[in-house]
């Protein structure tokens, strides 16, 4: 089809909402493909079944783990089932690691099972390891800290600031008085200043400190990173090489810290099953519907498949993955012979710095140069509500044309930042916009993402709002169809005026192995 060429110029604006006119409450009767996309997406969605398997059965997809490999096999099987050719593309190697069970128990001065788990790529234990818990030694200088280090031998060492309360601020503000809340804020600030000085006086960076402790004979490292919500903690990767590093929930970390502070000599027992698997190959999974008229021009559906492994990875980024999978499944049925080639990229290594997508962009300059549009989704279960034009001054006119053909059920409340700013990171569209290729992030309503599900121990299936996932899949499929059919190429003209100190982001080589990663 050679349509969708007329575009009215759109004004530059910080926020431009596209709301379809009242007559567009259903898909236009003269566009059978859009009607079919809508019908398939609404009446026979597979989103819930896909995400249930991904979240509950496969689970988290930490880069280099068997769970990620299992997930990739599942992706290939689903695409084959839908008649979509797909392949794995190796982009490097990573540290292989198998997570087993973690048990963390307080055994003195009383018995209590604690909320704790190994951090990613942590060494395990050989059976049970018991020991006293101590706080990071206090010192006035790096030299004094070095003299204090022998005291950690045979101990578990706490290296994070304890919280005065694990009750969220919203609760204090709602139930307490202003004076109570002000007192809490002042105490937290004073504690933070004291703790920052304690860390600085070790003379070690956050990366180096756990290593120094294990070299001094510590038998384990205990960390905490409260997300400031009820029972929610951020979990990232271990720094230790020989002894376990565990993330302990806010409440239990604070409990043990109080026991230490009052000289009540807490002891814990740790059993952590983990296996180091050496260097293993890591892959992106790429699905493809070949273009019938312009096979060397591309529409790319983008979402990262990997996750941190403190939970199930359901909203970061299981939801984005399923949105793109569903869009691809719908397109295969409603639009099996696209004008341009439609790709889906299920990226690995995003959580380590967009590694998989950066490698793909570097390895496929022909796709970058032929890119018509990339649509990326990666911020939870909310309805798509914001699309930034990434500093491309002509892109807004294309989105204006495409969105005007869609009903208000999909477009209502969607705001466009035009021309916006190019992303320097954050998610995988940044791996392509650094080349100036049209690559757009589809931002969602927050749904408490930052506190409760982003990189947390609570990112589970039950947090997903499937009405939003279904709607997002239909919107993405519709945009992909319209971008594929558009007779014109999305322009790559860049905004000239950038804020002071800002430049167009540079494309940098990704780390292709774990040892080159510097996070």
Helix axes 319-334, 32-43, angle to 10 degrees: 130
How much helix, strand and coil, in percent to the nearest 5, is found in the chain?
Answer: 35, 25, 40
Three-state DSSP state, 301: strand
State the residue for tokens 């295969």.
332
Find residue 16's DSSP bridge partners.
Answer: 416
- pLDDT given for residue 42 in this prediction: 93
Q: CATH topology for 13-85+290-494?
A: Aminopeptidase (3.40.630)
State the residue for tokens 């909402």.
17
Q: Which two tokens stand for residue 243?
A: 């002894």
Q: Which residues contact 496 (CB under 8 A, 6 or more apart)?
A: none
Q: CATH topology for 101-277?
A: Glucose Oxidase; domain 1 (3.50.30)
Strands (E), 328-381: 340-347, 371-376
The secondary structure of 313-327 as a DSSP string is -IIIIIHHHHHHHHH
- pLDDT given for residue 20 in this prediction: 36
| Burial group, residue 111, by CB count within 10 angstroms (0-12, 13-18, 19+) | exposed
State the residue for tokens 């996932």.
469
Q: What pTM, to 2 d.p., does this model score? A: 0.94
- Residue 15 vs residue 364, higher pLDDT: 364
Per-residue pLDDT band for 364 (boundaries 50, 70, 90) equals: very high
Q: Check if 13-85+290-494 and 101-277 are the same fold.
A: no
Chain-wide mean pLDDT for the chain? 94
Domain ranges across the chain? 13-85+290-494, 101-277
Q: Is the pLDDT of residue 241 over 70?
A: yes
Q: What is the DSSP letter of 486?
A: B
Q: Which residues contact 129 (CB under 8 A, 6 or more apart)?
A: 219, 220, 244, 269, 270, 271
Q: Is the pLDDT of residue 92 over 50?
A: yes
Instruction: Quick: pLDDT tens for 201-233.
Output: 999 999 999 999 999 999 999 999 999 999 999
- pLDDT given for residue 497 in this prediction: 86
Q: How many Å is the Cα radius of gyration of the chain?
A: 25
Average pLDDT over every residue of 474-497: 97
Residue 313 CA from chain centroid, whole number? 8
């Amino acid at each position: 089809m050679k349509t969708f060429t007329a575009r009215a110029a759109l004004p530059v604006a910080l926020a431009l909402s596209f709301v379809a006119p009242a007559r567009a409450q259903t898909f236009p009767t003269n566009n059978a493909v859009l009607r079919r996309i809508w019908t398939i997406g609404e009446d026979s969605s597979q989103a819930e079944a896909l995400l249930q398997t991904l979240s509950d059965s496969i689970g988290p997809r930490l880069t280099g783990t068997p769970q990620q490999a299992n997930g990739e096999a599942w992706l290939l099987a689903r695409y084959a089932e839908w008649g979509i050719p797909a392949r794995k593309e190796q982009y490097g190697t990573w540290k292989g690691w198998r997570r087993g069970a973690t048990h963390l128990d307080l055994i003195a001065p009383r018995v209590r099972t604690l909320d704790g788990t190994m951090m990613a790529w942590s060494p395990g234990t050989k059976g049970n390891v018991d020991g006293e818990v101590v706080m990071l030694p206090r010192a006035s200088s790096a030299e004094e800290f070095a003299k204090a280090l022998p005291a950690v031998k045979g101990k578990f060492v706490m290296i994070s600031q304890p919280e005065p309360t694990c009750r969220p601020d919203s609760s204090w503000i709602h139930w307490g008085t202003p004076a109570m809340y002000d007192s809490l804020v002042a105490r937290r600030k004073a504690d933070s200043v004291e703790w920052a000085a304690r860390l600085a006086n070790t003379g070690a960076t956050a990366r180096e400190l756990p290593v120094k402790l294990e070299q001094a004979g510590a038998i384990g490292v205990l960390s905490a990173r409260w997300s400031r919500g009820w029972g929610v903690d951020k979990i990232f990767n271990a720094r230790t090489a020989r002894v376990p590093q565990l993330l302990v929930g806010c409440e239990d970390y604070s409990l043990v810290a109080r026991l230490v502070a009052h000289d009540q000599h807490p002891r814990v027992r740790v059993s952590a099953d983990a296996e180091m698997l050496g260097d293993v190959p890591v892959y992106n999974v790429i699905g493809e519907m070949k273009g019938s008229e312009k096979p060397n021009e591309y529409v790319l559906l983008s979402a990262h498949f990997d996750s941190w492994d403190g939970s199930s990875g359901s909203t970061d980024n299981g939801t984005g993955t399923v949105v793109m999978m569903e869009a691809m499944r719908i397109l295969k049925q409603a639009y099996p012979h696209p004008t341009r080639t439609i790709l889906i990229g299920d990226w690995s290594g995003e959580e380590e710095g967009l590694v998989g997508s950066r490698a793909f962009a570097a390895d496929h300059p022909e796709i970058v140069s032929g890119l018509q549009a990339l649509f990326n989704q990666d911020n939870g279960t909310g309805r798509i509500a914001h699309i930034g034009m990434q500093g491309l001054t002509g892109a807004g006119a294309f989105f204006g044309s495409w969105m005007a053909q869609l009903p208000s059920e999909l477009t209502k409340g969607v705001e466009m930042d035009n021309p916006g700013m190019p992303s320097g990171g954050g998610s995988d569209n940044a791996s392509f916009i650094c080349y100036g290729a049209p690559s757009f992030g589809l931002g969602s309503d927050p749904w408490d993402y930052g506190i409760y599900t982003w990189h947390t121990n609570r990112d589970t299936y039950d947090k997903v709002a499937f009405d939003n996932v279904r709607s997002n899949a239909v919107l993405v499929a519709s945009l992909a169809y319209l971008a594929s059919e558009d007779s014109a190429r999305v322009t790559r003209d860049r905004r000239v005026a950038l804020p002071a100190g800002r430049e167009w982001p540079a494309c940098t080589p990704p780390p292709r192995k774990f040892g080159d990663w510097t996070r």
